[in-house]
């Protein structure tokens, strides 16, 4: 099994405990070293092969794996390279192979933004006038959106976020067929700290409620979490000659 972006091994021990042999690919050598020590401590080090590399350029042959896992919003943090990352996962998975990944939703983007603002005591100013920042861009997204790196706006990192239909669309274009999805981490009114701050101001509180409703905090809507997990199968592909290569049979 391929695990992309394991970091220090938050999920790897559970995968190893299930009996899988794991090839863990990460950009960071210190992270891989930490992962190796953790696996060794659990006496599963022999089933783990750490590899330093990027998801957009995987150093493996076509069809090397039967399954792949990409947790930690790997797709989102790939930004504009998301298509290349999925194409590489599709290339290295066998037809019928399983891919499991989690995806940041507009809810997750808005939540991270507002939590950053609350830590810097800037939350009430944003909620009194959401149009001042790029919150409106997030909540109006109907497909794929982009949260830019903007320190002056409390955005500490840069990533792409997806609605569920947009995530399934990019997976399909890369050669996958989504078979299941699950929302994770309900908003809970953006956690207790945010609601406590927002309640101090009537306008801010009303805007927070409206913002939650706009990003999908409604019964029966998938985007009720910080993100969602998708399971997909690598589709079988068959080569077909292009029209320029098709020759007509001679008459008679």
pLDDT (tens digit, 9 = 90+) per residue, 216-225? 554 444 344 5
More confident residue, 213 or 75: 75
Give percent above pLDDT 70 in the chain: 71
What is the chain's mean pLDDT, rounded?
78
Residue 186's pLDDT is: 47
Both tokens of residue 223?
A: 């985007």
Residue 212's pLDDT is: 66
Q: What is the pLDDT of residues 147-182, one digit of tens each?
A: 765 555 555 567 888 888 889 999 999 999 999 887
Q: Residue 23 — left, alpha, or beta (φ > 0 → left; ψ -120 to 50 → alpha)? A: beta
Mean local confidence (pLDDT), 37-43? 73
Q: 54-234: what fold?
A: Rossmann fold (3.40.50)
Q: 144 with 166: CB under 8 angstroms?
A: yes
Residue 181's pLDDT is: 84
Residue 222's pLDDT is: 37
Give percent above pLDDT 90 in the chain: 33
Taking 50 as the threshold, does the pLDDT of residue 242 lie above it? no
Q: 146 with 79: CB under 8 angstroms?
A: yes
Residue 236's pLDDT is: 87
Q: 13 with 42: CB under 8 angstroms?
A: yes
Spell out the domain ranges in the chain.
54-234
Both tokens of residue 169?
A: 């669309």
Q: 232 with 99: CB under 8 angstroms?
A: yes
Taking 60 as the threshold, does the pLDDT of residue 39 lie above it? yes
Residue 6's pLDDT is: 92
Residue 42 pLDDT level (bands cut at 50, 70, 90): low
Q: Which residues contact 150 (CB under 8 A, 6 or more apart)?
A: 134
> Which of 149, 21, 171, 155 is closest to 85 using CA atoms?
171
């Amino acid at each position: 099994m391929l695990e992309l972006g394991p970091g220090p091994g938050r999920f790897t021990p559970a995968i190893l405990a299930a009996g899988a042999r794991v090839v863990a690919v990460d950009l960071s050598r210190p992270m891989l070293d930490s992962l190796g020590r953790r696996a060794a401590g659990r006496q599963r080090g022999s089933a783990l092969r750490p590899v330093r590399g990027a998801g957009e350029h995987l150093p493996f042959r076509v069809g090397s794996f039967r399954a792949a896992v990409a947790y930690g919003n790997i797709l989102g943090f790939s930004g504009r390279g998301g298509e290349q990352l999925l194409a590489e996962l599709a290339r290295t998975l066998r037809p019928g192979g399983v891919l499991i990944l989690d995806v940041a939703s507009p809810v997750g983007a808005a939540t991270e933004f507002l939590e950053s603002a609350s830590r810097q005591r800037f939350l009430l100013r944003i909620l009194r006038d959401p149009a001042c920042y790029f919150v409106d861009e997030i909540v109006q997204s109907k497909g794929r959106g982009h949260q830019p790196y903007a320190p002056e706006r409390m955005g500490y990192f840069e990533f792409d976020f997806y609605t569920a239909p947009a995530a399934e669309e990019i997976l399909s274009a890369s050669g996958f067929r989504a078979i299941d999805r699950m929302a994770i981490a309900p908003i809970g009114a953006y956690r207790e700290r945010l609601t406590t701050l927002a309640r101090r101001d009537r306008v801010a509180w009303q805007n927070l409620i409206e913002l939650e409703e706009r990003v999908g905090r409604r019964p029966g809507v998938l985007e009720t979490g910080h993100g969602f997990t998708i399971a997909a199968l690598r589709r079988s592909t068959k080569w077909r000659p292009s029209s320029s290569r098709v020759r007509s049979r001679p008459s008679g």
